[in-house]
Amino acid sequence: MPQRPVPTHTKVDRNSNRPPEAELPADGLWKTFGASVLVLLTGLVLLFQATERGSAFTTEVLRRATVDRRAQPIPNLSLRDDQGNQTTLHDLLSTDSRISIVDFVYLRCRTVCTSLGSSYQRLQQQIVERGLQSRVQLLSVSFDPANDDITALRDYAQRMRLDPAAWRVVTLASADDRQLLLDAFGIVVIPAPLGEFEHNAALHIVNSKSMLVRIIDVDDAARALEFAVAAAGP
Amino acid sequence: MSARRFHRQQLCIALAVSMVACALSVRPWRGLIEHSMVWHMAVQMPMLVAGGWLWIGAAISGPDSRRLDAWNRYGLTGFFASQVVFAYWMLPLAIDRAVVMPTADAVKVAILLACGAMLKHSFDRSPPVMQLFFVGYAVSTLVAAGVFLATTESRLCNAYLMDSQVAAGWSVAVLGVAIGVAWGLGALQGVRVTTRRRQGFPDP
């Protein structure tokens, strides 16, 4: 039978930082229990607050939930339309009692803006067919004034067959206002390969007091129109 | 190598990791985390936690930390706090905020460094079974969140391109597996040492 080796040195506690259990304060468990409960409760409350009561985990859902809860004011910015006329955002939104469905595009876009354009074409068709031009308008705002000049706006209007009574396309008069515009609507624009941009897209419903009252998904254009019609009143 | 020299080397590594992680929030290096979700989620965030673990953890885990011990028996408070912190900083909206709001990014840096310190304090005071519970939870969360980020068709962060999100998702999943493997190897080593001591063998 093999002999068990005799220990040749005193055992050293490798985890010397850890005090022996007997030396820990007697009230340690209660303090730890209290601190743990406090940490968990505080954390859960903060998470609940940060996620709009647990309903929003992405920025996109959060901005929609925030607008659902409280309408957001829209700043007044200088714009230019496809005829070269200078105007302001408030003028376009508040001249009459129409409800506006606003989207944000850059006119070279071949991805999400194309999908937005198709949605707007269908919306324009419904607005004209139902004679809603006096109650609802569509407004496309370019956030790329450096590239989207009057010629580009005109080309876009022709390509998409815009009916000016129902749908208008404008660009920022000054590139300096770009961030103000994007921040007000919660749009994040990031550079993508091949000189393109990636940005979050949605249909923004703005009332005649220039207040953003609802943000609806691009794929749900029919609901956006019904919401706008209902908000416009009889 | 003398203990003093070893300690100095550890401090240098801790300082280097913390400084590189913090530098990623400052221009011109900030561009890396603004343009790449991988640099943000799979490089900077883990480095901040590691920096806190190495740097601040060494300071508050010393033998003079009895007062703190009473509030963190078995590492329980630190584990719960770090879970809450990770739950928040895994949210796409939190990632977006840190990119577009420098204030939120500064809060992220401070909290993740503190989280690393708390984890070090907790690991030094927790039995393996409790570590297994929390590490297991963290690994499963990281892998699940990573695979979800990589496979969902939705762009979850407004601040990043879809390609970046997919790469970050896989990186986070791999990070989760790596943490699990590292802890498992450490635990195995601990079991071997304990067994040897029980049998009366000297430490290697």
A10 to chain B: closest CA residue: B202
Report chain B's C-alpha Rg in angstroms: 18
Mean pLDDT of chain A: 84
Could you tell me the pLDDT band of residue A27, with boundaries at 50, 70 and 90?
low
DSSP state of A175: G
C-beta atoms of B158 and A200 within 8 A: yes
Q: How many CA atoms lie within 13 A of A85 on its CB side?
A: 9
Is residue A6 very low, low, confident or very high in pLDDT (cuts 50, 70, 90)?
A: very low
Of B62, B84, B158, the CB nearest to A59: B158
- The residues near A80 (Cβ < 8 Å, ≥ 6 apart) are A86, A87, A145, A150, A153, A170, A171, A172, A173
Which positions in chain A touch B71 (Cβ < 8 Å)? 28, 31-32, 35
Q: Do A17 and B84 touch (CB under 8 A)?
A: no
A194 to chain B, any CB pair closer than 8 A? The answer is no
- A134: helix, strand or coil: coil
DSSP letter at A192 equals -
Are the Cβ atoms of A7 and B202 closer than 8 angstroms?
Answer: yes
Q: pTM, whole model, 2 decimals?
A: 0.81
pLDDT of residue A12: 41
Mean pLDDT confidence for A132-159: 90
Write B144-152 long-range contacts (CB < 8 A, 24+).
B145/B90, B145/B169, B145/B172, B146/B170, B146/B171, B146/B172, B146/B173, B146/B174, B146/B175, B146/B176, B147/B173
C-alpha atoms less than 13 angstroms from C-alpha of B114 in its C-beta half-sphere: 13
Contact: B91, A51; criterion CB under 8 Å: yes
Q: With an 8 Å Cβ cutoff, are B77 and A4 in contact?
A: no
- Residue A215's pLDDT is what? 94
Among the residue ranges A102-111, A214-223, B60-69, the one predicted with the least confidence is B60-69
Mean predicted confidence (pLDDT) in B132-142: 94
A165 CA: distance to closest CA in chain B (Å):
33
**Residue A102 pLDDT class (50, 70, 90 cuts):** very high
| Beta-carbon separation of B81 and A188 below 8 A | no
Query: Which pLDDT score, from 0 to 100, does residue B36 have?
Result: 93
DSSP 8-state symbol, A160: T
- What is the band of A10 on the pLDDT scale with cuts at 50, 70, 90? very low
Q: Which residue has the tokens 């002999």?
A: A3
Kindly state whether A17 is in contact with chain B, defined as any CB-CB distance less than 8 angstroms. Answer: yes
Cβ within 8 Å, pair A50-B66 = no
The pLDDT value given to residue B1: 54
Q: How confident is the model at residue A52 (pLDDT cuts 50, 70, 90)?
A: confident
Q: What is the pLDDT of residues A185-208, one digit of tens each?
A: 999 888 888 778 888 888 999 998
The H or E element that residue A88 is part of is: strand A86-88
Residue of A8, A36, A55 for testing the chain B interface, max B β-carbons within 10 Å: A36
Q: How far is CA B130 from CA A24, A166, B13, B62, B64, in A?
A: 18, 64, 28, 21, 24
pLDDT the model gives residue A193:
80
**What are the structure tokens assigned to B17, written together?**
């990791």
Antiparallel, parallel or unpaired: β A136-142 and A167-172:
parallel
Mapped onto helix, strand or coil, the DSSP state of residue B17 is helix
Contact yes or no for B93 and A56 at CB 8 A: yes
With beta carbons less than 8 A apart as the criterion, state whether B89 and B104 touch.
no
- Which residues from chain A sit within 8 angstroms of residue B198, using beta carbons? none
Strands A197-199 and A189-191 come out as: antiparallel
Name the 3-class secondary structure at A55. coil
Tell me whether A43 touches chain B (CB under 8 Å). Answer: yes
Is B11 exposed, middle or buried, given 0-12, 13-18 or 19+ CB atoms closer than 10 A?
middle
Residue B124 pLDDT class (50, 70, 90 cuts): confident
pLDDT of A216 over the 70 cut? yes
Q: What ipTM was predicted for this assembly?
A: 0.79
Tokens 């070893």 belong to B6
Q: What is the pLDDT of residue A7?
A: 44
